[in-house]
Each structure stands twice: as structure tokens, then as C-alpha cells.
A and B are shown apart, each in its own frame.
Chain A
């Protein structure tokens, strides 16, 4: 827990980016998420922690409507991105996902070149006017993904040929290439070794300057290292949500304390 001292904590509250109220998710008969209320702040890293199967990934996937692709999932409640309900009938999930990017647990680059991986999003959203413009976006995104120096000489090489950590940073670069406002990360480091994890964590801290980042993690140390806000989920409910420092040092709920001290989970 002494990791906590490493991050200069920015305690001042930012404007609320994503406001979630009374959120419920059902998978068929299973009530996976129960009455969750969370405010995701702008330019903040929010961590979702909790034992396996507690619904943190499910809740994350509600935030950019990835649950739409699962037939049996039903989502209820109010999710407001800058005051607009993202589950409104008029909202096209395609536009929403351009604003709310996502990085997955397993690095999943397209089996295409590194360049095409990053350029894909801008291409389909028409963000680049011409080839030079697109080149700029790709370079900028790869720089933001902290992978530019490693791949700048082999942009034509397949993205799948990179190491696990590089692939994950490539996926982050791909996600930021569409200029999202919120970046969702679903256990982005669980398939990575400690060195690659450290690189990604460093990157998350940099990304915070421009984006609102939501990260699901199994590692409490990681949550403590990278986040400013932490939400603890247990059995589909949000048990506690607050400043990371407070959650880890002075939890209100006994269940949170049991979890962070390793008694449950």
C-alpha cells in the first residue's frame, strides 16, 4: 500500500463527464448490476475494483454501449455523457463509441499493419482530409500511446507481430486516434508482464491530462498507483466510491476493508 505515496494526488474535483444513475443490467435471468450510481469526472482516472464476477467489466461496457452486442443483456438507468443520455433512442452507438473509446483486456490489434491499425478509426470517421493529415494523426496517436519510437521504422509491419506490451500500447494508440473524450480500459494490464504494465500505467497517467479514463483492474496496487477515484464493486452493487486515498486508507464500508486487506475476493 505504500505505492500510494507515488502519485501526486489531485484532489480538486473536476467537472462531471459521465453521470450514471440507478443503473441496472440483466443478463437473462441474472441481475448483474444493481442500482449503481457513479460520477465519472473529466481528466481523472477512475478505477473499478472488486472480486471476479462482481460486475465491474459489465458496468464498464455499459458506458459505451458495448453490451448492445450481447443479445441477452438489458441495460436500464440513466447514463449521461455531458448531460446527454447515451441510451436515448436517437443515439447511434457508433458515434458514441467514437467519443468513448475502449481498450480491452487482451491486446487485440487487427491483423493488419501498425499504420492501418491506428488509421482505421480516423478513416471510418473521416477525421483526416488527406494522406498527410492521416499520417499526422497516426504519428500523434502512436506518440500518445508511447510506442512511436519503437515502431516508427516499421509502420508497415503487422501489428500482431509486436510483443504483448507493445500490442496493448498499440491498442491504446488506436483508441486515442479517434479523439475520444472518455477512455475505457478493461483490465488493460492483466495479460502483460510487470515492465509492460509499468509502461502502460505511466501512459495512463499521461492520458489523464486530456481524457477521462476509467480503468477496471484486479490489482489493487494498480488502482492505488494510477487512479484518483476508486469504485469498489461487490456482487453487482457499488459498495463504495470515493477518493482513492480514502478508499485505501480509510474505507467506510467493512466489505471494502475486507477486500483491500485480502480477506474477501
Chain B
């Protein structure tokens, strides 16, 4: 540091006593102290933001994992069913049966509230349809008590989570103040309650007016198929390219050019890959739009430079003495690489690949351009091949879609989706660390 240029004290080379530090030594000690303080401040700042980030993600996102359900025990006899099926509005008949059952249950507990079908439809949606479908699929349940857990509408859910309040709300076709009385009564009776939101984890996206039914499951599957494509293409291509460049390619202008371009590609914004994918894979090659296959191809282009750079770095890190040793006993270049260099570089290659995949998993911009965003009506793909070719969304794109929707209930879903995405990324990073530990060998 600047100490080097300080003039030497005139009193001689060293201070008189070792226990009394001279001015120079004190100054150096102070400089070091200051530097340590800067370091601690930098780390503390980073930690502070991390904590803020995580608390906000968790506090906003955790509610997405809870939903409000109305749980009613219900007996439908064969006769009830026949009567209902003979009516013109069949689901309405079922709905009436449900209202009667609910009323009985409330009456039993001494709670007398006004129930009408419209209120039930506002609170629970079209109940009749759900019940009818259930009994047509399980006719053997007729005459037996069945407990229905019906999801309450997102407004009711919001009432529970504090998003909707009596004071702030206005009567609308979605929810009326009188409905909340019914909700309170049902809560007293223990009919309405909070439950873990499995449909959020397993379900598919829902329409813009049904935030309660939205789930991330289908887009997790979409992301999974994309990652399969990325892994299957980028790992072999990336590793082969790096081995060739690092071990076999002659050092000339052409390979220098390739090297520079690989480094440049790693810095290209992902949206550029997106528009390239749109132009080449969809418009030119006519691959299906919105398909994980195309998404995977685009992400492969994006991941390749990352994998090549990290693979080359780990190949470079293998001591040349190992190559010499192999060549010295008469191994061919290829044998030296595949028998000795590659196994030693494997942990680094694996880590690089997993980090590249994690990056690809969280990438949104290119997916916007190839149509893996917006409401994808279809749920789960039918079968393995369809998983690649059928329109689907991916986790980050799904989160983006939710975040851009008007209904505040989707906001919560977006945060919940982020938690799921982060869990996947964390798992991948942990796998990378374990693999590294496992395969690391010393020489």
C-alpha cells in the first residue's frame, strides 16, 4: 500500500524496543484493521440483503401453500341421485342437495344463518358439478357418508389471509358482505378451515379469474422436460468440444477465434438466444411453438458456453505430469485423456454442468419469445414424447405470468412459485456439492 513510499524515519532502522511499536508499524496495523473492518461491513451488507430477500420471499410466498377448504360430510342416496338426474338443471339439483346438507350441519350445531345457493356459488364456485362428477365416477359411494373438501374462492381465501376485509370490500358478484357472515358461522362450526395447498404443487395453471385453482405442477413438468433436452445435448456437445479444444486442437488463429467467441457467447443476453430460437427453431424449422423441446434447444445454446468454459477450466487444472506419465508409458493421446485426465476433471465438469443447468432452469427471457408464457390451457402432457412436443410452460415463465396478472391473489402464487423454484435450484446445487466431494481425488 502507500506505506511503501513512506520516508524512513531518521532515528535509524528500527525502533529501540520491540514492545513499543514505531509509527510505521502502527500505521500498518491500522491499515490492516481498517481493511478487515471494510471486509466485515461488506459481508454484513450482503448478509443483510440476503436475510431481507429470504424473509420477504418466505412471508409473501408461504400463504400460497395454504388454501381455505369447506369440508362437509354428505350422504347421497341412489334415490337422490335419480331424482337429480331426472331434472333439467342437473348440477343445480346437486347443488341444492349440498346446500341442504350444509344447512343441516349448521343447524345441528345451533348456528342459524341464512344460506342461499347464490352465496354458496360465490363462496365455493359451482358445487353441483363437482359432486355430480364425483358420484358418476364413484357410484359405489352412493348411500355412504362422503367428506367433500371443497376449495373456497380466492376472495374467501383472501379474507382468511387478511387480503380481503369487511371494511374495505364492496359487494360484488364475487363476494358480498353477507357472505362473510356465513363464512364466520361455518368457521365456528369448524366446517371451513385452512389446509395445505396440494393443488398448488400438483396442479396446472388456471384462468385469470380463478387464482385459487392455479398450480405450478404442470410447469414443473415442463421445466423437467426442458432440462432433459438441455442435459442430453449440452453435456456431450460441451464436453466433447472442450476436450477437443483443450487437448487436441492445434494452437492457431482459428482456434483462438473460436475460444474468443465461446467466451463472448457466454456473455450474450439470454433474450438474444430467445429470438434466435424463435427465428430458427419455430419459424424456419417449424418445431411446435411453446414446446419444452424448443425451450430446451434454446437453453442448450445458452448453457453450452458455460459448460465449455467450466469443463476447459477443470481439464486445465489436471496437472500436466499426469498426461506426461500416461504418454510416457506409451498411451495414445486419446487414452491419456480418457483414462486419466477426464476422470480427474470429472468433478469439475459435473459441477459446471449442474450450475449451467441451474442457470437454465431459472431462465425466463428466452421462453417469453418462444411462447412458453401466458395461460397454457393444457395441464399435464399425455406421455413421455408428448412431454417434449406439447405446449407447456416452465417454472420461471409461470411465475412471470402470475406476477403480471391483475388479481392480487396471483401475486401470492408468484411468490409461492419462487419458493418452489428456489428449492429446485438449492437441490441442484447441493447435488453439485455432493458430487464434487464424492469424486474429488487428490494427487
Contacts and interface: CB of A to CB of B under 8 A. Distances in A.
Interface residues of B, number: 22
A178 B330 contact: yes
B339 interface: yes
A188 to B, nearest CB: 12
Contacts of A121: 329-331
A111 B327 contact: no
B344 A111 contact: yes
Interface in A194-248: none
Interface string B408-443: 000000000000000000000000000000000111
Which interface residue of A97, A160, A174, A175 has the most chain B CB atoms within 10 A? A97
B148 to A, nearest CB: 63
A259 interface: no
Interface SS majority for chain B: helix
Contact of B251 (A71, A171, A178): A71
A104 B331 contact: no
B323 A69 contact: yes
A33 interface: no
Given A111-B442, A120-B339, A106 B331 contact: no
A106 to B, nearest CB: 6
Contacts of B21: none
B365 interface: no
B377 interface: no
B207 interface: no
Contact of B442 (A64, A95, A160): A160
Nearest to B325: A108
A64 B250 contact: no
Interface in A147-162: 160
B283 interface: no
B233 interface: no
A98 interface: yes
A124 interface: yes
B245 to A, nearest CB: 13
Interface in B233-251: 250-251
B328 interface: yes
A66 B323 CA distance: 11
B344 A124 contact: no
Contacts of A171: 325
Contact of A106 (B321, B335, B340, B441): B321
Nearest to B344: A111
Contacts of A109: 325
B76 interface: no
A104 to B, nearest CB: 6
A174 B329 contact: yes
Interface in A27-79: 64, 66, 69, 71
Contacts of A165: none
Interface string B292-335: 00000000000000000000000000010111111111111001
Which interface residue of B322, B330, B332 has the most chain A CB atoms within 10 A? B330
Given A98-B330, A120-B329, A174-B329, 10 more contacts: A64-B328, A66-B328, A71-B250, A104-B324, A108-B322, A108-B324, A110-B340, A111-B344, A111-B443, A171-B325
The 5 closest A-B pairs by CB, nearest first: A98-B330, A108-B321, A121-B329, A102-B328, A97-B330
30 contacts: A66-B324, A66-B327, A66-B328, A71-B251, A94-B330, A94-B331, A94-B332, A95-B330, A97-B327, A97-B328, A97-B330, A101-B329, A101-B330, A104-B321, A104-B324, A104-B325, A104-B328, A106-B321, A108-B319, A109-B325, A110-B325, A110-B326, A111-B344, A111-B442, A120-B329, A120-B339, A121-B331, A171-B325, A175-B328, A178-B329
